[in-house]
Amino acid sequence: MDLTQADPLSLQGMMEELTTHPVNSNEFFQRFKEQRLSREQLQRFLRQYHYFCKHFVKLLEGLLYKTPVDEIEMRVELIKTLHSELGSGSLEQAHVRQLERFARALGLSEPDLNQTQPLPEVESYLQVLRRLFLETDYLVALGAELAVETTAASEFQYLYPGLQKYPEFTAEDLAFFELHVQEEQQHSQWLVEAVRKTAGSPAALAQVAAGARETAEAWHQFWKGLDRAVFDQPSCQS
């Protein structure tokens, strides 16, 4: 269902549209879960996904800074999300560090990851978030972050079981993916609370919906880019 059909005056309608957006069951997710990928294909995926995750947290910090000082309820929910992303105060539990442990299991070092060149769709998604988080009205930015956290919840229902097929990966290697099966749902709930407490008028909800629409579609394009890069290129490894 197209998010543009959502009733912009209904938070419930907005959430229904986000959770039924095609990105939540896109072709990359299906293929990743069902097929056995080569080491090279997994590395292609991980490079791009890590690049996004690493830069997203910095954008989230920017969104928090740009949120008006008097919007305390919104800032509280954003802080909870950012605190979670950064390991709730534990350096080794920071999500990007957990993802880098999986990268090492794939044979990718930190210098390898630092040399990653983002796909056009990955860079485009980050630029959309940068603009919405830092250059638009804070309510549009809130809608963008609501969409980020809500649509992110579905990916781990595919990525985690997809990676469990490979006996060479330990539970510690896959900790990032296991954690996010439940944690993204909590992040989404925090952002729903932020919207409920911050967007108190039909006009405000319309701004939230605008940010959510654009973000969900850009996220869909992100995964189309990964699908092309991971599955439509010949692999050198079996």
Assigned domain for 30 exists: no
Query: What is the secondary structure of the chain as a DSSP string?
Result: --GGGS-TT-HHHHHHHHHTSGGGG-HHHHHHHHSPPPHHHHHHHHHHHHHHHHHHHHHHHHHHHHS-TT-HHHHHHHHHHHHHHTGGG-GGGSHHHHHHHHHHHTT--HHHHHTPPPPHHHHHHHHHHHHHHHHS-HHHHHHHHHHHHHHHHHHHHHHHHHHTT-TTS-TTTTHHHHHHHHHHHHHHHHHHHHHHHH--SHHHHHHHHHHHHHHHHHHHHHHHHHHHHHHSS--S--
Assigned domain for 210 exists: yes
Assigned domain for 237 exists: no
Question: In this structure, how many other beta carbons lie within 10 angstroms of the beta carbon of residue 6?
Answer: 21
Residue 9: per-residue pLDDT: 57
Question: What is the residue-level pLDDT of the chain in tens, covering all 238 positions?
Answer: 344 444 445 888 899 999 999 999 999 999 999 999 999 999 999 999 999 999 999 999 999 999 999 999 999 999 998 888 877 666 777 788 999 999 999 999 999 999 999 999 999 999 999 999 999 999 999 999 999 999 988 999 999 999 999 999 999 999 999 988 877 677 888 899 999 999 989 999 999 999 999 999 999 999 999 999 999 876 554 3
Instruction: Give the pTM.
Output: 0.89
Q: How far apart are CA 11 and CA 135, in angstroms?
A: 23
Q: How far apart are CA 158 and CA 7, in angstroms?
A: 29
Spacing of C-alpha 215 from chain mean position: 10
| Burial class of residue 101 in the structure, from the number of CB atoms within 10 Å of its CB (0-12 exposed, 13-18 middle, 19+ buried) | middle
Residue 42: per-residue pLDDT: 98
Residue 237: per-residue pLDDT: 44
The structural domain count of the chain equals 1
Domain of residue 209, CATH code: 1.20.910.10
Residue 8: per-residue pLDDT: 44
Assigned domain for 3 exists: no
Question: In this structure, how many other beta carbons lie within 10 angstroms of the beta carbon of residue 173?
Answer: 18
Residue 118: per-residue pLDDT: 97
Residue 236: per-residue pLDDT: 52
Residue 2: per-residue pLDDT: 42
Assigned domain for 16 exists: no
Closest CA to 140 of 214, 51, 45, 52: 214
Q: How far apart are CA 26 and CA 230, in angstroms?
A: 14
Assigned domain for 133 exists: yes
Assigned domain for 13 exists: no
Assigned domain for 25 exists: no
Q: 72: which 2 tokens?
A: 């305390």
* Domain limits for position 195: 36-231
Q: How far apart are CA 105 and CA 159, in angstroms?
A: 16
Residue 234: per-residue pLDDT: 63
